Protein backbone atom coordinates (compact mmCIF):
# COMPACT_ATOMS: atom_id res chain seq x y z
CA UNK A 1 0.00 0.00 0.00
CA UNK A 2 2.83 2.40 0.83
CA UNK A 3 4.43 1.58 -2.50
CA UNK A 4 1.14 2.29 -4.23
CA UNK A 5 0.74 5.63 -2.46
CA UNK A 6 4.35 6.52 -3.16
CA UNK A 7 3.75 5.83 -6.85
CA UNK A 8 0.64 8.01 -6.92
CA UNK A 9 2.49 10.77 -5.09
CA UNK A 10 5.44 10.57 -7.48
CA UNK A 11 3.20 10.79 -10.53
CA UNK A 12 1.32 13.73 -9.08
CA UNK A 13 4.57 15.52 -8.22
CA UNK A 14 5.82 14.91 -11.75
CA UNK A 15 2.59 16.24 -13.22
CA UNK A 16 2.84 19.41 -11.15
CA UNK A 17 6.57 20.04 -11.45
CA UNK A 18 6.88 19.18 -15.12
CA UNK A 19 4.30 21.87 -15.73
CA UNK A 20 2.51 22.26 -19.00
CA UNK A 21 0.85 18.86 -18.87
CA UNK A 22 -2.16 19.85 -16.77
CA UNK A 23 -2.20 23.37 -18.12
CA UNK A 24 -2.27 22.18 -21.71
CA UNK A 25 -5.31 19.99 -21.09
CA UNK A 26 -7.14 22.87 -19.38
CA UNK A 27 -6.18 25.27 -22.15
CA UNK A 28 -7.38 22.82 -24.78
CA UNK A 29 -10.68 22.46 -22.93
CA UNK A 30 -11.08 26.23 -22.85
CA UNK A 31 -10.28 26.75 -26.51
CA UNK A 32 -12.57 23.98 -27.78
CA UNK A 33 -15.50 25.32 -25.77
CA UNK A 34 -14.72 28.86 -26.91
CA UNK A 35 -14.57 27.81 -30.57
CA UNK A 36 -18.03 26.33 -30.50
CA UNK A 37 -20.13 29.50 -30.19
CA UNK A 38 -17.99 31.00 -32.95
CA UNK A 39 -18.96 28.10 -35.19
CA UNK A 40 -22.61 27.89 -34.21
CA UNK A 41 -23.41 31.55 -33.82
CA UNK A 42 -23.99 33.39 -30.53
CA UNK A 43 -27.58 32.19 -29.99
CA UNK A 44 -27.75 31.96 -26.19
CA UNK A 45 -30.83 29.71 -26.17
CA UNK A 46 -29.20 27.17 -28.45
CA UNK A 47 -25.95 27.31 -26.49
CA UNK A 48 -27.62 26.72 -23.15
CA UNK A 49 -29.43 23.71 -24.60
CA UNK A 50 -26.31 22.03 -25.97
CA UNK A 51 -24.00 23.17 -23.16
CA UNK A 52 -23.90 19.85 -21.19
CA UNK A 53 -23.03 17.87 -24.30
CA UNK A 54 -20.40 20.34 -25.42
CA UNK A 55 -18.78 20.43 -21.99
CA UNK A 56 -18.67 16.64 -21.78
CA UNK A 57 -17.33 16.08 -25.29
CA UNK A 58 -14.68 18.75 -24.90
CA UNK A 59 -13.70 17.22 -21.56
CA UNK A 60 -13.27 13.79 -23.17
CA UNK A 61 -11.11 15.27 -25.93
CA UNK A 62 -9.00 17.24 -23.47
CA UNK A 63 -8.49 14.16 -21.30
CA UNK A 64 -7.66 12.09 -24.36
CA UNK A 65 -4.85 14.48 -25.19
CA UNK A 66 -3.18 13.86 -21.87
CA UNK A 67 -3.60 10.07 -21.78
CA UNK A 68 -0.35 9.39 -23.59
CA UNK A 69 1.44 10.88 -20.62
CA UNK A 70 0.42 7.99 -18.34
CA UNK A 71 3.07 5.56 -19.55
CA UNK A 72 5.10 7.36 -22.22
CA UNK A 73 7.64 9.20 -20.08
CA UNK A 74 8.27 6.14 -17.92
CA UNK A 75 8.64 3.97 -20.97
CA UNK A 76 11.20 6.37 -22.48
CA UNK A 77 13.12 6.67 -19.23
CA UNK A 78 13.03 2.95 -18.52
CA UNK A 79 11.35 3.45 -15.15
CA UNK A 80 8.37 1.43 -16.34
CA UNK A 81 10.54 -1.68 -16.58
CA UNK A 82 11.79 -1.07 -13.05
CA UNK A 83 8.22 -0.73 -11.81
CA UNK A 84 7.24 -3.93 -13.59
CA UNK A 85 10.08 -5.78 -11.86
CA UNK A 86 9.28 -4.33 -8.45
CA UNK A 87 7.20 -5.95 -5.75
CA UNK A 88 4.05 -4.07 -6.65
CA UNK A 89 1.93 -6.05 -9.15
CA UNK A 90 1.81 -4.40 -12.54
CA UNK A 91 -1.98 -4.06 -12.19
CA UNK A 92 -1.46 -1.94 -9.08
CA UNK A 93 1.17 0.15 -10.88
CA UNK A 94 -1.30 0.83 -13.67
CA UNK A 95 -4.05 1.62 -11.16
CA UNK A 96 -1.78 4.05 -9.33
CA UNK A 97 -0.76 5.82 -12.52
CA UNK A 98 -4.37 6.03 -13.72
CA UNK A 99 -5.43 7.35 -10.33
CA UNK A 100 -2.73 10.01 -10.52
CA UNK A 101 -3.94 10.89 -14.00
CA UNK A 102 -7.49 11.26 -12.70
CA UNK A 103 -6.39 13.52 -9.83
CA UNK A 104 -4.12 15.63 -12.01
CA UNK A 105 -6.37 15.88 -15.08
CA UNK A 106 -9.89 14.61 -14.44
CA UNK A 107 -10.56 16.68 -11.33
CA UNK A 108 -9.16 19.98 -12.69
CA UNK A 109 -11.14 19.55 -15.90
CA UNK A 110 -14.33 18.82 -13.95
CA UNK A 111 -13.78 21.89 -11.77
CA UNK A 112 -13.16 24.09 -14.81
CA UNK A 113 -16.44 22.99 -16.41
CA UNK A 114 -18.76 25.41 -14.50
CA UNK A 115 -16.63 28.38 -15.56
CA UNK A 116 -16.95 27.29 -19.16
CA UNK A 117 -20.65 26.74 -18.50
CA UNK A 118 -20.97 30.50 -17.98
CA UNK A 119 -19.60 31.02 -21.49
CA UNK A 120 -22.29 28.70 -22.82
CA UNK A 121 -25.14 30.24 -20.81
CA UNK A 122 -25.76 27.03 -18.86
CA UNK A 123 -28.35 27.41 -16.10
CA UNK A 124 -26.71 28.08 -12.74
CA UNK A 125 -28.92 25.46 -11.09
CA UNK A 126 -27.30 22.75 -13.20
CA UNK A 127 -23.75 23.49 -12.01
CA UNK A 128 -23.65 21.28 -8.92
CA UNK A 129 -24.99 18.32 -10.89
CA UNK A 130 -22.64 19.01 -13.79
CA UNK A 131 -19.58 18.97 -11.54
CA UNK A 132 -20.90 15.93 -9.66
CA UNK A 133 -21.42 13.93 -12.87
CA UNK A 134 -17.99 14.85 -14.08
CA UNK A 135 -16.31 13.93 -10.81
CA UNK A 136 -18.15 10.61 -10.77
CA UNK A 137 -17.64 9.92 -14.48
CA UNK A 138 -14.02 10.96 -15.06
CA UNK A 139 -12.44 7.96 -13.27
CA UNK A 140 -13.78 5.88 -16.17
CA UNK A 141 -12.05 8.30 -18.54
CA UNK A 142 -8.67 7.80 -16.85
CA UNK A 143 -8.91 4.05 -16.23
CA UNK A 144 -10.30 3.11 -19.64
CA UNK A 145 -7.84 5.55 -21.15
CA UNK A 146 -5.01 3.64 -19.47
CA UNK A 147 -5.94 0.65 -21.65
CA UNK A 148 -5.58 2.76 -24.77
CA UNK A 149 -2.33 4.29 -23.54
CA UNK A 150 -0.89 0.84 -22.78
CA UNK A 151 -1.98 -0.64 -26.11
CA UNK A 152 -0.49 2.18 -28.17
CA UNK A 153 2.74 2.48 -26.17
CA UNK A 154 4.93 1.20 -28.99
CA UNK A 155 2.65 2.06 -31.88
CA UNK A 156 3.50 4.52 -34.59
CA UNK A 157 1.35 7.66 -34.38
CA UNK A 158 0.03 6.43 -31.05
CA UNK A 159 -1.92 9.57 -30.21
CA UNK A 160 -4.30 9.45 -33.14
CA UNK A 161 -4.70 5.72 -32.85
CA UNK A 162 -5.58 6.07 -29.18
CA UNK A 163 -8.53 8.33 -30.04
CA UNK A 164 -9.91 5.64 -32.32
CA UNK A 165 -9.50 2.93 -29.69
CA UNK A 166 -10.66 4.80 -26.62
CA UNK A 167 -13.46 7.13 -27.70
CA UNK A 168 -15.97 4.32 -28.45
CA UNK A 169 -15.34 2.99 -24.93
CA UNK A 170 -16.23 6.40 -23.48
CA UNK A 171 -19.68 6.31 -25.01
CA UNK A 172 -21.62 4.98 -21.99
CA UNK A 173 -19.98 7.53 -19.69
CA UNK A 174 -20.86 10.31 -22.11
CA UNK A 175 -24.47 9.20 -22.47
CA UNK A 176 -25.16 8.84 -18.76
CA UNK A 177 -23.20 11.97 -17.87
CA UNK A 178 -25.32 14.07 -20.21
CA UNK A 179 -28.57 12.40 -19.22
CA UNK A 180 -27.82 13.20 -15.57
CA UNK A 181 -27.30 16.88 -16.35
CA UNK A 182 -30.41 17.11 -18.50
CA UNK A 183 -32.39 15.29 -15.80
CA UNK A 184 -31.23 17.97 -13.38
CA UNK A 185 -32.45 20.80 -15.59
CA UNK A 186 -35.74 19.15 -16.57
CA UNK A 187 -36.72 17.44 -13.34
CA UNK A 188 -35.23 15.19 -10.66
CA UNK A 189 -36.68 11.97 -12.09
CA UNK A 190 -33.77 10.25 -13.79
CA UNK A 191 -31.03 11.99 -11.86
CA UNK A 192 -30.32 9.34 -9.23
CA UNK A 193 -30.42 6.48 -11.74
CA UNK A 194 -28.03 8.26 -14.10
CA UNK A 195 -25.60 9.07 -11.32
CA UNK A 196 -25.72 5.49 -10.04
CA UNK A 197 -25.05 4.04 -13.47
CA UNK A 198 -22.26 6.55 -13.98
CA UNK A 199 -20.71 5.43 -10.70
CA UNK A 200 -21.08 1.78 -11.72
CA UNK A 201 -19.33 2.49 -15.03
CA UNK A 202 -16.46 4.17 -13.23
CA UNK A 203 -16.10 1.32 -10.72
CA UNK A 204 -16.21 -1.29 -13.48
CA UNK A 205 -13.52 0.53 -15.42
CA UNK A 206 -11.39 0.80 -12.27
CA UNK A 207 -11.40 -3.02 -12.29
CA UNK A 208 -11.20 -3.65 -16.04
CA UNK A 209 -8.71 -0.91 -16.92
CA UNK A 210 -5.73 -2.00 -14.82
CA UNK A 211 -6.14 -5.69 -15.73
CA UNK A 212 -6.30 -5.07 -19.48
CA UNK A 213 -3.64 -2.35 -19.45
CA UNK A 214 -1.27 -4.48 -17.36
CA UNK A 215 -1.77 -7.41 -19.76
CA UNK A 216 -0.94 -5.12 -22.68
CA UNK A 217 2.16 -3.76 -20.91
CA UNK A 218 3.40 -7.25 -20.02
CA UNK A 219 3.08 -8.38 -23.63
CA UNK A 220 5.21 -5.44 -24.72
CA UNK A 221 7.92 -6.01 -22.13
CA UNK A 222 8.57 -9.64 -22.96
CA UNK B 1 -12.70 -34.60 -25.48
CA UNK B 2 -12.71 -35.00 -29.19
CA UNK B 3 -13.09 -31.33 -30.10
CA UNK B 4 -9.93 -30.46 -28.26
CA UNK B 5 -7.89 -33.04 -30.10
CA UNK B 6 -9.15 -31.58 -33.36
CA UNK B 7 -8.06 -28.09 -32.41
CA UNK B 8 -4.75 -29.48 -31.24
CA UNK B 9 -4.27 -31.30 -34.52
CA UNK B 10 -5.05 -28.11 -36.40
CA UNK B 11 -2.29 -26.33 -34.51
CA UNK B 12 -0.02 -27.72 -37.20
CA UNK B 13 -0.33 -25.22 -40.07
CA UNK B 14 0.57 -27.83 -42.68
CA UNK B 15 -2.27 -30.05 -41.55
CA UNK B 16 -4.57 -27.03 -41.45
CA UNK B 17 -3.58 -26.10 -44.98
CA UNK B 18 -4.28 -29.62 -46.21
CA UNK B 19 -7.66 -29.83 -44.50
CA UNK B 20 -8.78 -26.29 -45.39
CA UNK B 21 -7.61 -26.84 -48.96
CA UNK B 22 -10.04 -29.73 -49.26
CA UNK B 23 -12.79 -27.93 -47.29
CA UNK B 24 -12.65 -24.57 -49.05
CA UNK B 25 -14.06 -25.56 -52.48
CA UNK B 26 -16.90 -27.47 -50.82
CA UNK B 27 -17.85 -24.59 -48.51
CA UNK B 28 -17.53 -22.05 -51.32
CA UNK B 29 -19.71 -24.06 -53.69
CA UNK B 30 -22.27 -24.64 -50.96
CA UNK B 31 -22.31 -20.94 -50.10
CA UNK B 32 -22.82 -19.97 -53.74
CA UNK B 33 -25.62 -22.51 -54.17
CA UNK B 34 -27.45 -21.54 -50.97
CA UNK B 35 -27.12 -17.80 -51.65
CA UNK B 36 -28.25 -18.38 -55.24
CA UNK B 37 -31.34 -20.24 -54.11
CA UNK B 38 -31.95 -17.68 -51.35
CA UNK B 39 -31.70 -14.81 -53.86
CA UNK B 40 -34.11 -16.59 -56.20
CA UNK B 41 -36.58 -16.95 -53.34
CA UNK B 42 -36.02 -13.40 -52.20
CA UNK B 43 -36.47 -11.82 -55.61
CA UNK B 44 -39.02 -14.02 -57.36
CA UNK B 45 -40.69 -16.15 -54.79
CA UNK B 46 -41.47 -13.85 -51.90
CA UNK B 47 -44.36 -11.42 -51.59
CA UNK B 48 -44.08 -7.66 -51.75
CA UNK B 49 -44.82 -5.99 -48.45
CA UNK B 50 -48.09 -4.07 -48.49
CA UNK B 51 -46.49 -1.09 -46.79
CA UNK B 52 -42.85 -1.23 -47.78
CA UNK B 53 -43.29 -2.37 -51.36
CA UNK B 54 -40.24 -3.73 -53.16
CA UNK B 55 -37.82 -2.21 -50.66
CA UNK B 56 -38.61 -5.05 -48.28
CA UNK B 57 -36.21 -7.16 -50.35
CA UNK B 58 -33.28 -5.14 -48.95
CA UNK B 59 -33.96 -7.03 -45.74
CA UNK B 60 -32.68 -10.28 -47.27
CA UNK B 61 -29.21 -8.75 -47.53
CA UNK B 62 -29.42 -6.50 -44.52
CA UNK B 63 -30.39 -8.98 -41.81
CA UNK B 64 -27.75 -11.63 -42.68
CA UNK B 65 -25.09 -8.89 -42.84
CA UNK B 66 -26.06 -7.58 -39.44
CA UNK B 67 -25.99 -11.09 -38.02
CA UNK B 68 -22.51 -11.72 -39.45
CA UNK B 69 -21.30 -8.35 -38.18
CA UNK B 70 -21.88 -9.64 -34.67
CA UNK B 71 -20.85 -13.24 -35.35
CA UNK B 72 -17.64 -11.92 -36.89
CA UNK B 73 -16.81 -10.01 -33.72
CA UNK B 74 -17.51 -13.13 -31.68
CA UNK B 75 -15.08 -15.00 -33.93
CA UNK B 76 -12.41 -12.32 -33.46
CA UNK B 77 -12.89 -12.33 -29.69
CA UNK B 78 -12.82 -16.12 -29.40
CA UNK B 79 -9.67 -16.23 -31.50
CA UNK B 80 -8.15 -13.57 -29.28
CA UNK B 81 -9.03 -15.62 -26.23
CA UNK B 82 -7.48 -18.70 -27.84
CA UNK B 83 -4.31 -16.74 -28.55
CA UNK B 84 -3.88 -15.22 -25.10
CA UNK B 85 -4.98 -18.20 -23.01
CA UNK B 86 -4.19 -21.33 -25.02
CA UNK B 87 -1.51 -19.76 -27.24
CA UNK B 88 -2.96 -21.62 -30.19
CA UNK B 89 -0.71 -20.91 -33.19
CA UNK B 90 -3.59 -20.42 -35.59
CA UNK B 91 -5.65 -18.21 -33.27
CA UNK B 92 -3.90 -15.04 -34.36
CA UNK B 93 -4.25 -16.01 -38.02
CA UNK B 94 -7.96 -16.57 -37.46
CA UNK B 95 -8.41 -13.26 -35.63
CA UNK B 96 -6.52 -11.34 -38.29
CA UNK B 97 -8.53 -12.93 -41.09
CA UNK B 98 -11.89 -12.39 -39.39
CA UNK B 99 -11.53 -8.66 -38.64
CA UNK B 100 -11.76 -7.25 -42.20
CA UNK B 101 -14.56 -9.66 -43.10
CA UNK B 102 -16.57 -8.71 -40.04
CA UNK B 103 -15.92 -5.03 -40.73
CA UNK B 104 -17.10 -5.47 -44.31
CA UNK B 105 -20.36 -7.10 -43.19
CA UNK B 106 -20.87 -4.36 -40.60
CA UNK B 107 -20.39 -1.78 -43.34
CA UNK B 108 -22.80 -3.67 -45.58
CA UNK B 109 -25.40 -3.76 -42.81
CA UNK B 110 -25.05 -0.01 -42.30
CA UNK B 111 -25.24 0.80 -46.01
CA UNK B 112 -28.21 -1.45 -46.78
CA UNK B 113 -29.94 -0.19 -43.66
CA UNK B 114 -29.57 3.41 -44.69
CA UNK B 115 -30.66 2.64 -48.27
CA UNK B 116 -33.80 1.07 -46.81
CA UNK B 117 -34.25 3.97 -44.42
CA UNK B 118 -34.39 6.64 -47.12
CA UNK B 119 -37.69 5.53 -48.72
CA UNK B 120 -39.14 4.20 -45.45
CA UNK B 121 -38.17 6.71 -42.80
CA UNK B 122 -37.38 9.54 -45.18
CA UNK B 123 -33.80 9.76 -44.01
CA UNK B 124 -30.57 7.87 -44.59
CA UNK B 125 -29.57 8.08 -40.99
CA UNK B 126 -31.63 8.41 -37.81
CA UNK B 127 -29.76 8.05 -34.54
CA UNK B 128 -31.75 4.96 -33.77
CA UNK B 129 -30.41 2.74 -30.98
CA UNK B 130 -29.66 -0.20 -33.25
CA UNK B 131 -27.96 1.87 -35.92
CA UNK B 132 -25.84 3.66 -33.38
CA UNK B 133 -24.65 0.48 -31.71
CA UNK B 134 -23.80 -1.10 -35.08
CA UNK B 135 -21.87 2.05 -35.95
CA UNK B 136 -19.93 1.72 -32.70
CA UNK B 137 -19.23 -1.92 -33.58
CA UNK B 138 -17.83 -0.69 -36.89
CA UNK B 139 -15.55 1.73 -35.01
CA UNK B 140 -14.31 -1.13 -32.84
CA UNK B 141 -13.45 -3.11 -35.97
CA UNK B 142 -11.59 -0.08 -37.36
CA UNK B 143 -9.71 0.23 -34.07
CA UNK B 144 -8.65 -3.43 -34.24
CA UNK B 145 -7.36 -2.99 -37.80
CA UNK B 146 -5.59 0.27 -37.00
CA UNK B 147 -3.90 -1.16 -33.91
CA UNK B 148 -2.64 -4.17 -35.84
CA UNK B 149 -1.29 -1.99 -38.63
CA UNK B 150 0.51 0.35 -36.26
CA UNK B 151 3.23 -2.07 -35.20
CA UNK B 152 6.25 -3.61 -36.85
CA UNK B 153 6.29 -6.67 -34.61
CA UNK B 154 3.49 -8.86 -35.95
CA UNK B 155 3.36 -11.28 -33.03
CA UNK B 156 3.09 -8.42 -30.53
CA UNK B 157 0.49 -6.64 -32.66
CA UNK B 158 -1.61 -9.81 -32.71
CA UNK B 159 -1.54 -10.18 -28.93
CA UNK B 160 -2.34 -6.52 -28.28
CA UNK B 161 -5.21 -6.68 -30.75
CA UNK B 162 -6.49 -9.72 -28.87
CA UNK B 163 -6.46 -7.70 -25.62
CA UNK B 164 -8.42 -4.94 -27.32
CA UNK B 165 -10.89 -7.44 -28.78
CA UNK B 166 -11.54 -8.88 -25.32
CA UNK B 167 -11.99 -5.41 -23.81
CA UNK B 168 -14.47 -4.80 -26.61
CA UNK B 169 -16.43 -7.91 -25.61
CA UNK B 170 -16.83 -6.56 -22.09
CA UNK B 171 -17.71 -3.09 -23.30
CA UNK B 172 -20.03 -3.95 -26.20
CA UNK B 173 -23.03 -5.03 -24.09
CA UNK B 174 -22.59 -1.93 -21.91
CA UNK B 175 -22.42 0.31 -24.96
CA UNK B 176 -25.44 -1.41 -26.50
CA UNK B 177 -27.40 -1.08 -23.29
CA UNK B 178 -26.51 2.57 -22.79
CA UNK B 179 -27.36 3.41 -26.41
CA UNK B 180 -30.75 1.70 -26.02
CA UNK B 181 -31.36 3.67 -22.87
CA UNK B 182 -30.23 6.92 -24.47
CA UNK B 183 -32.44 6.40 -27.47
CA UNK B 184 -35.62 5.53 -25.59
CA UNK B 185 -35.32 8.89 -23.93
CA UNK B 186 -35.62 10.70 -27.23
CA UNK B 187 -37.66 8.61 -29.64
CA UNK B 188 -39.53 5.33 -29.44
CA UNK B 189 -37.97 2.24 -30.91
CA UNK B 190 -38.98 1.63 -34.50
CA UNK B 191 -39.51 -2.10 -34.14
CA UNK B 192 -39.66 -4.00 -37.40
CA UNK B 193 -41.96 -6.60 -35.88
CA UNK B 194 -40.59 -10.06 -35.22
CA UNK B 195 -43.78 -11.74 -36.40
CA UNK B 196 -42.59 -12.37 -39.92
CA UNK B 197 -44.69 -14.33 -42.38
CA UNK B 198 -43.19 -17.71 -43.44
CA UNK B 199 -43.17 -16.55 -47.07
CA UNK B 200 -40.59 -13.97 -46.05
CA UNK B 201 -39.00 -15.88 -43.20
CA UNK B 202 -37.91 -18.86 -45.27
CA UNK B 203 -35.95 -16.85 -47.90
CA UNK B 204 -34.41 -14.96 -45.01
CA UNK B 205 -33.25 -18.22 -43.40
CA UNK B 206 -31.74 -19.34 -46.70
CA UNK B 207 -29.92 -16.04 -47.09
CA UNK B 208 -28.69 -16.10 -43.49
CA UNK B 209 -27.41 -19.65 -43.95
CA UNK B 210 -25.78 -18.78 -47.25
CA UNK B 211 -24.12 -15.68 -45.85
CA UNK B 212 -22.79 -17.69 -42.91
CA UNK B 213 -21.30 -20.24 -45.29
CA UNK B 214 -19.83 -17.38 -47.31
CA UNK B 215 -18.30 -15.99 -44.12
CA UNK B 216 -16.70 -19.36 -43.39
CA UNK B 217 -15.40 -19.65 -46.94
CA UNK B 218 -13.89 -16.17 -46.83
CA UNK B 219 -12.50 -16.75 -43.37
CA UNK B 220 -10.83 -19.99 -44.46
CA UNK B 221 -9.43 -18.29 -47.56
CA UNK B 222 -8.19 -15.38 -45.46
CA UNK B 223 -6.49 -17.73 -43.02
CA UNK B 224 -4.84 -19.66 -45.84
CA UNK B 225 -3.61 -16.43 -47.41
CA UNK B 226 -2.23 -15.27 -44.07
CA UNK B 227 -0.40 -18.55 -43.49
CA UNK B 228 1.08 -18.42 -46.98
CA UNK B 229 2.05 -14.78 -46.48
CA UNK B 230 3.85 -15.66 -43.27
CA UNK B 231 5.67 -18.51 -44.98
CA UNK B 232 6.79 -16.25 -47.80
CA UNK B 233 7.96 -13.71 -45.26
CA UNK B 234 9.89 -16.33 -43.30
CA UNK B 235 11.51 -17.59 -46.51
CA UNK B 236 12.47 -14.03 -47.50
CA UNK B 237 13.94 -13.36 -44.08
CA UNK B 238 16.03 -16.52 -44.17
CA UNK B 239 17.17 -15.63 -47.67
CA UNK B 240 18.26 -12.19 -46.51
CA UNK B 241 20.05 -13.70 -43.55
CA UNK B 242 21.83 -16.19 -45.75
CA UNK B 243 22.79 -13.44 -48.19
CA UNK B 244 24.06 -11.32 -45.33
CA UNK B 245 26.10 -14.18 -43.90
CA UNK B 246 27.53 -14.92 -47.33
CA UNK B 247 28.07 -11.23 -48.07
CA UNK B 248 29.94 -10.53 -44.86
CA UNK B 249 32.22 -13.48 -45.58
CA UNK B 250 33.22 -12.16 -48.96
CA UNK B 251 33.74 -8.68 -47.58
CA UNK B 252 35.59 -9.94 -44.56
CA UNK B 253 37.83 -12.21 -46.58
CA UNK B 254 39.99 -9.58 -48.31
CA UNK B 255 40.46 -7.69 -45.06
CA UNK B 256 42.03 -10.66 -43.40
Sign of the torsion formed by the C-alpha atoms of B193, B198, B201 and B203? negative
Residues 6+ away with beta carbon under 8 Å from A5: none
B156 touches chain A (CB under 8 A): yes
Q: What is the CA radius of gyration of chain B?
A: 23
Using CA atoms, how far residue A7 sits from A78, A97, A216, B24, in Å, is 15, 7, 20, 55
Using CA atoms, how far residue B225 sits from A80, A121, B103, B211, in Å, is 38, 58, 18, 21
Higher-confidence position of B173 and B247: B173
Which residues partner with B53 through β-bridges? B49
Measured between beta carbons, which residues in chain B are less than 8 angstroms from residue A52?
none
Residues 6+ away with beta carbon under 8 Å from B244: none
pLDDT at A218: 92
Domain ranges of chain A: 2-221
pLDDT at B33: 93
For residue A37, name the pLDDT band (cuts at 50, 70, 90). Answer: confident
Residue B124 φ then ψ, to 5°? -75, -30
pLDDT at B248: 55
Residues 6+ away with beta carbon under 8 Å from B71: B102, B212, B215
Q: How many CA atoms lie within 13 A of A17 on its CB side?
A: 6
- In angstroms, the CA A65 to CA A140 distance is 15
Cβ–Cβ below 8 Å for A152 and B181: no
Interface residue of B153, B163, B169, B173 to substitute, partner A, most A CBs within 10 Å: B163
- In angstroms, the CA A111 to CA A26 distance is 10
Q: Above pLDDT 90, what percent of chain B?
A: 43
pLDDT at A78: 86
Cβ–Cβ below 8 Å for A208 and B143: no
Return mean pLDDT, chain B.
83
A176 touches chain B (CB under 8 A): yes
Contact indicator for A144, A205 with CB cutoff of 8 Å:
yes
Cβ–Cβ below 8 Å for B147 and A154: no
Residues A38-65, mean pLDDT to the nearest whole number = 89
Q: Above pLDDT 70, what percent of chain B?
A: 86
Residues 6+ away with beta carbon under 8 Å from A155: A161, B147, B150, B151
Residues 6+ away with beta carbon under 8 Å from B210: B31, B34, B35, B36, B37, B38, B64
Cβ neighbours around A35 below 10 Å, total: 11
Exposed/middle/buried for residue A1 (C-beta within 10 Å: 0-12, 13-18, 19+): exposed
Write the pLDDT tens digit of every residue in B54-107: 777 888 888 899 889 999 999 999 999 999 998 888 899 999 999 999 999 999
Residues 6+ away with beta carbon under 8 Å from A92: A3, A4, A210
For residue B18, name the pLDDT band (cuts at 50, 70, 90). Answer: confident
Cβ–Cβ below 8 Å for A219 and B178: no
For residue B256, name the pLDDT band (cuts at 50, 70, 90). Answer: very low
A157 touches chain B (CB under 8 A): yes
Residues A42-46, mean pLDDT to the nearest whole number = 85
For residue A186, name the pLDDT band (cuts at 50, 70, 90). Answer: low
- In angstroms, the CA B12 to CA B16 distance is 6
Residues A66-76, mean pLDDT to the nearest whole number = 86
Q: Is the ipTM of this complex over 0.95?
A: no
Q: Which of residues 57-116 of A touch B (CB under 8 A)?
A: none
Cβ–Cβ below 8 Å for A168 and B163: no
Residues B10-33, mean pLDDT to the nearest whole number = 88
Q: Is the pLDDT score of B191 beyond 60?
A: no
pLDDT at A189: 66
Chain A: closest CA distance from residue B112 (Å): 23
For residue B192, name the pLDDT band (cuts at 50, 70, 90). Answer: very low
Residues B26-46, mean pLDDT to the nearest whole number = 89
Long-range contacts of A36-43 (CB under 8 A, 24+ apart): A36/A120, A37/A119, A37/A120
Residues 6+ away with beta carbon under 8 Å from A10: none
- In angstroms, the CA B220 to CA B93 distance is 10
Interface residue of A182, A187, A212, A219 to substitute, partner B, most B CBs within 10 Å: A219
- In angstroms, the CA A171 to CA B130 distance is 14
Amino acid sequence: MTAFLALVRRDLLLAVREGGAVGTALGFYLIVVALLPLGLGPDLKLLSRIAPGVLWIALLLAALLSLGRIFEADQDAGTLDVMAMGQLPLEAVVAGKALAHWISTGIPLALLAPILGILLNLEISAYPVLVATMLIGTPAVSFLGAIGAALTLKARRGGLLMALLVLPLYLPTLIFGISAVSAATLGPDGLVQSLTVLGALSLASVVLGPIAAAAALRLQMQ
Amino acid sequence: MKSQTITQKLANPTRFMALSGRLLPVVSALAAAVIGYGLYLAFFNSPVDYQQGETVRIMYIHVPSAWLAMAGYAMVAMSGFGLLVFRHPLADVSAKAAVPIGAAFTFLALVTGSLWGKPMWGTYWAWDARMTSVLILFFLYLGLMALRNSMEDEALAGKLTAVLALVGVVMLPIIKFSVDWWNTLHQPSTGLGSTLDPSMRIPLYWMAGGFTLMFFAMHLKGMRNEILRRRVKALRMSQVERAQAGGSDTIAAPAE
